[in-house]
A and B are shown apart, each in its own frame.
Chain A
């Protein structure tokens, strides 16, 4: 096998301040191989690939790539240009496409010399057509990327990498935004390209696709490589144990009889800035002791649904009824006072004020509360001790409640938000992508708290892209697609996937 080795990472380490992102990681990749890089969030997968691609400079270690001729040559580190020249292409989790340009222009962007006045469009087009034929990845070249679906955008992103004659392709969480069917197609295409000699590293934390589509699996945990296994020899249980270091306890859910309706949306429409955050004629009911899961690929109207329930977006038609009271006056304060707890999707943007203290962030939703203030003056001692109690109860770890909230890790920020929301015993909870970006431990904690609130009698609306999460937590499931919501009377993954793609089951 050593003869056709195309890439070798040796002893790569990277620290960010006191955080060790990668510790002495070594990895080999062979020609035509699909290697899955698996690990929890924060395990150091993306950092490792960013070092390979030259975005980060490693503190120590080296990278060797196969060049023309025999043997491996050292790759200059910290230079994306050098990585590109060595035939390494990376497709980031967050696409780097110019939305107002066509797919063709996006693919060509950066590969043409600045000094040339005329563009050789015909040659470029011929080459792209050839690549599309070879790889099976198709995209409409003249359509502006802004009008494409996420799946199409991703194909453009990959075509852009292939256009640069890559021999090694790195995909960072390629399926995070795809429907199960789109993901399967993507991996079929990648498999075909690997047979032609392309070497692929893909980053993922979804065990199912890793097992199904990779040749070899490397597992990272806390920045270290904890194991490598041929995919044929692996099963979900073994690699899950490798990822977290122990078996993960399943969230226990008691069977409960749903109670009175706590939220009713009747014929609700929202006109957002684009179709992506609009809702048309949606109706739903959430009862006490019930979790309603809303499944769907992101950008199908979840933002509008969450916007209405959290008070950030006014509906253009329809009614919102909480506990038999019509809600009018659509602003966050009204909904907070009506007893709605909101866990925002983008916790860094909407959830915390990063440069204010953890303690301040914990009381930000209840500034009128006499426990927090008297006659306009903050009760600083009360706020502080309240925060310390909450931090203990909800296991918020970090440099202390007086420190800026941005210094907390993603999981601890989410626990802080949970503490803030659950402390008020809300009767309705909106959990929008509550475990996105969290490691398994923190995600399990979120699930446990949601189930606890359910037992207490809260109604919960859970919006998630993660079908597994929806399936394991929800009492009922609705699918959202293109602004429309349909009740799903099935728990079959395949059927739900089709519904998410807009093909009614």
Chain B
């Protein structure tokens, strides 16, 4: 017979090993549907690998894909550390993107060193406002933020469609529901000539480092951790729990908004309703894989982006569906969740009932 016992303290090896192992297992499990689809599994994995590391272009594509995931991953990680369940990063991303095109597509004409920070500031503010609403509802009226943030995503998406058909519609867009392009001087400059990877990546990395320092070294981070780990004790010790929650909500929303700014002003140039293939939701997976650590978010975002980009290129080469990427991402999340159990519990073998225990 096997019994499950809680560990005295969560194992350090497991807490680092689990995300890595989860990624590997998820990839291996992906081989099963690949085989069903009639593909040579080994060749498929080689193609996937080549799709990420095969050329400088492939690698920069992966980095491009990782950029918004770092932002949304940080948004989720910081909020979750405070036990504030922000499931609305997708909507906040679009709020940030809308603010970016509203400011950046000709409303204000200014040189780059003014316009770019202005676009970022407005984008962050819009995202922050999008998260401040559910945070107020939570702290004031006790509304569950999981429900409010999740549902606000759909409200914001409909609002986006209205904006793209109305006030934000590009008059030169041949009737397509898209915004006018952001002025050239409003764009985030590319990092490498003729590649799509842009300076949004640098901003994302800076954000991750700053978030790490804020969390570990500042009073704000101390309060955030205390509220998240034990709100009752934090309150008893004189930490203003609601105020801390609000500040975390604003930072989290701003990061998600920045993901939208980065996509629209770094990559696409204009806004359409399909700007994000669910970066807001993938950010949650990234945060969970990262164990809610800001620096871990960078690594997890790179992994998830590799899976997406690699699967895309594999599907082109082999003729199998690229939905495989979603499969790997979701299995890796499941593996992390199951793995979290192993970090907290261990199995012990015991002799069957009736005898003396060994």
Contacts and interface: CB of A to CB of B under 8 A. Distances in A.
A367 B219 contact: yes
A57 interface: yes
Given A77-B353, A77-B357, A353-B230, A377 B236 contact: no
Given A356-B226, A378-B217, A76 B232 contact: no
B236 A353 contact: no
A332 B235 contact: yes
A331 B238 CA distance: 7
Contacts of A344: 236
Interface stretch (A59-67, A119-127, A241-249, A433-441): A59-67
Contacts of B222: 360, 364, 367, 378
A311 B240 CA distance: 12
Given A16-B8, A365-B237, A59 B232 contact: no
Given A342-B236, A365-B238, A377 B226 contact: no
Nearest to A74: B354
Given A367-B222, A378-B217, A349 B353 contact: no
B36 to A, nearest CB: 42
Contact of A350 (B219, B226, B232): B232
Given A57-B357, A349-B230, A377-B217, A332 B237 contact: yes
A34 B132 CA distance: 62
A352 B217 contact: no
Contacts of A404: 9
Given A312-B236, A332-B235, A364-B239, A376 B219 contact: yes
Contacts of A82: 353
Contacts of B194: none
A353 B234 contact: yes
A444 interface: no
A273 to B, nearest CB: 14
B198 interface: no
A57 B223 contact: no
B65 interface: no
Contacts of B219: 367-368, 372-373, 376-378
Interface in B224-257: 225-226, 229-230, 232-240
A265 interface: no
B220 interface: yes
A78 interface: yes
B218 interface: yes
B356 interface: yes
A336 interface: yes
Contact of A76 (B237, B238, B354): B354
Interface residues of A, number: 45
A17 interface: yes
Contacts of B8: 16-18, 407
Nearest to A334: B238
Interface residues of B, number: 28
B333 to A, nearest CB: 23
Contacts of A136: none
Given A57-B3, A404-B9, A78 B357 contact: yes
B52 to A, nearest CB: 36
Contact of A59 (B223, B225, B357): B357
Contact of B233 (A60, A352, A378): A352
A310 B218 CA distance: 26
Contacts of A79: 353
A352 B230 contact: yes
A422 to B, nearest CB: 15
A60 B240 CA distance: 49
Nearest to A403: B9
A308 to B, nearest CB: 13
B236 A310 contact: yes
Contact of B236 (A59, A351, A367): A351
A186 B236 CA distance: 37
Contacts of B232: 349-350
Nearest to A363: B222
A466 to B, nearest CB: 23
B202 interface: no
A376 B217 CA distance: 9
B350 A57 contact: yes
Contact of A353 (B226, B238, B353, B358): B226
A212 interface: no
Given A78-B353, A404-B9, A333 B240 contact: yes
A378 B218 contact: yes
A459 interface: no
Nearest to B1: A78
Contact of B239 (A17, A78, A349, A367): A367
A58 interface: yes
A398 interface: no
B349 to A, nearest CB: 11
A18 B9 CA distance: 12
A355 interface: yes
A79 B218 CA distance: 49
A447 to B, nearest CB: 23
B2 to A, nearest CB: 11
A332 B238 contact: yes
Contacts of B239: 364, 367
A74 B238 CA distance: 55
Interface in A348-400: 349-356, 360, 364-365, 367-368, 372-373, 376-378, 380
Interface in B118-165: none
A364 B218 CA distance: 13
B340 to A, nearest CB: 14
B306 to A, nearest CB: 31
A349 B233 contact: yes
Contacts of A78: 3, 350, 353, 357
Contacts of B237: 332, 336, 364-365
Contact of A407 (B9, B230, B235): B9
A373 B218 CA distance: 8
Contacts of B356: 60-62, 77
Given A367-B223, A377-B218, A336 B233 contact: no
Contacts of A380: 217
A332 B353 CA distance: 52
A341 B20 CA distance: 46
A331 B230 CA distance: 17
Nearest to B221: A378
A386 to B, nearest CB: 14
Interface string B338-358: 000000000000100110111
A376 B218 CA distance: 6
5 contacts: A333-B238, A333-B240, A344-B236, A355-B230, A360-B222
**Among all A-B residue pairs, the 7 with the closest Cβ atoms:** A333-B238, A17-B8, A76-B353, A350-B236, A332-B238, A364-B237, A353-B230
Given A58-B357, A360-B226, A365-B237, 20 more contacts: A16-B8, A57-B357, A60-B357, A62-B356, A76-B354, A333-B238, A333-B240, A350-B232, A350-B236, A351-B233, A353-B225, A356-B225, A364-B226, A364-B234, A364-B237, A367-B222, A367-B223, A376-B218, A376-B219, A378-B219
